Chains A and B, each alone.
Chain A
Amino acid sequence: EAGVAQSPRYKIIEKRQSVAFWCNPISGHATLYWYQQILGQGPKLLIQFQNNGVVDDSQLPKDRFSAERLKGVDSTLKIQPAKLEDSAVYLCASSLVGTHGNTIYFGEGSWLTVV
């Protein structure tokens, strides 16, 4: 089966510019996650969707980050305006309903460099 698709794979922007990342989860997966992985650290959850509703966005810097999952399938993560510390890999993941016991499948990530 097709895996989690993400684009773009790489992006370089200047600080204060905006950027958007797109994710297409595995077909039939109701739960979608966006993680931020800073170099040398483990991934950190930014936001979790169940279908098109937000389950957890407590770690999302809402003054600059936004995410949506229209129609409960694809998702977009936006950063505006970007800061230097936003340089990271943004990982999209999906799973069947919920997290408990269900394997979470990750995409290859979108690598962001803010200069």
Chain B
Amino acid sequence: AQSVTQLDSQVPVFEEAPVELRCNYSSSVSVYLFWYVQYPNQGLQLLLKYLSGSTLVESINGFEAEFNKSQTSFHLRKPSVHISDTAEYFCAAVFSGANNLFFGTGTRLTVIP
């Protein structure tokens, strides 16, 4: 069965520390992968996406994610977090042959001053 798994429901981290939010997927077909961010009381915003080509993708605010086919992972990283990064982060996938996004359960990142 096709699925997206985010094992960490909450990740607290101190300001300026590095962070990794984990995402794994399960699929026997090709996949497009996405990270969305949801700030409090706001809608989902696309952070970055992997469609093809370079396995390392970056966002404009310092986040990056690497597609690892052998590990079926797409972990999100940032070398130094800011207070403003506090939000809910969702990993999502479009599986080949499917019409829509499958979401993980989300990881709440809390940056501690």
B44 A91 Cβ-Cβ under 8 A = yes
Q: Please provide the 3 A-B residue pairs with the shortest distance between their CB atoms, ordered closest to farther.
A: A42-B103, A106-B44, A108-B43
Which B-chain residue is minimally distant from A3 (CB atoms)? Answer: B43
Q: Which residues of B contact A (CB under 8 A)?
A: 4, 6, 9, 32, 36, 41-46, 49, 51, 90, 92, 94, 98-101, 103-106
Known: A42-B4, A44-B103. 17 other contacts (CB 8 A): A4-B43, A40-B105, A40-B106, A42-B90, A42-B103, A42-B104, A42-B105, A42-B106, A43-B101, A45-B101, A48-B99, A48-B100, A55-B99, A100-B94, A101-B51, A103-B49, A105-B46
Contact A43 B44, CB 8 Å, known A98-B99, A99-B100: yes
Contact A103 B46, CB 8 Å, known A42-B90, A56-B100: yes
In angstroms, Cα B34 to Cα A101, docked, is 10
In angstroms, Cα B4 to Cα A44, docked, is 12
Number of A-B contacts (CB under 8 A): 54
29 pairs of residues in contact across A and B, judged by CB atoms under 8 Å: A4-B43, A33-B100, A40-B105, A41-B105, A41-B106, A42-B4, A42-B6, A42-B92, A42-B105, A42-B106, A43-B90, A44-B103, A45-B101, A48-B100, A56-B100, A91-B43, A91-B44, A93-B44, A98-B99, A99-B99, A99-B100, A99-B101, A100-B32, A101-B32, A103-B46, A104-B46, A106-B44, A106-B45, A108-B43
CB neighbours (8 Å) of B103 from chain A are 42-44
Question: Is A72 part of the contact surface with B, judged by Cβ < 8 Å?
Answer: no
In angstroms, Cα B43 to Cα A4, docked, is 10
Interface size on A, residues (CB 8 A): 24
Q: Which residues of A contact B (CB under 8 A)?
A: 4, 33, 40-45, 48, 55-56, 91, 93, 98-101, 103-109
CB neighbours (8 Å) of B4 from chain A are 42
Which B-chain residue is minimally distant from A104 (CB atoms)? Answer: B101
Among B9, B51, B99, chain A packs the most CB atoms within 10 A around the CB of B99
In angstroms, Cα B9 to Cα A42, docked, is 11
Which A-chain residue is minimally distant from B100 (CB atoms)? Answer: A45
CB neighbours (8 Å) of A106 from chain B are 36, 43-45
Among B36, B51, B99, B100, chain A packs the most CB atoms within 10 A around the CB of B100
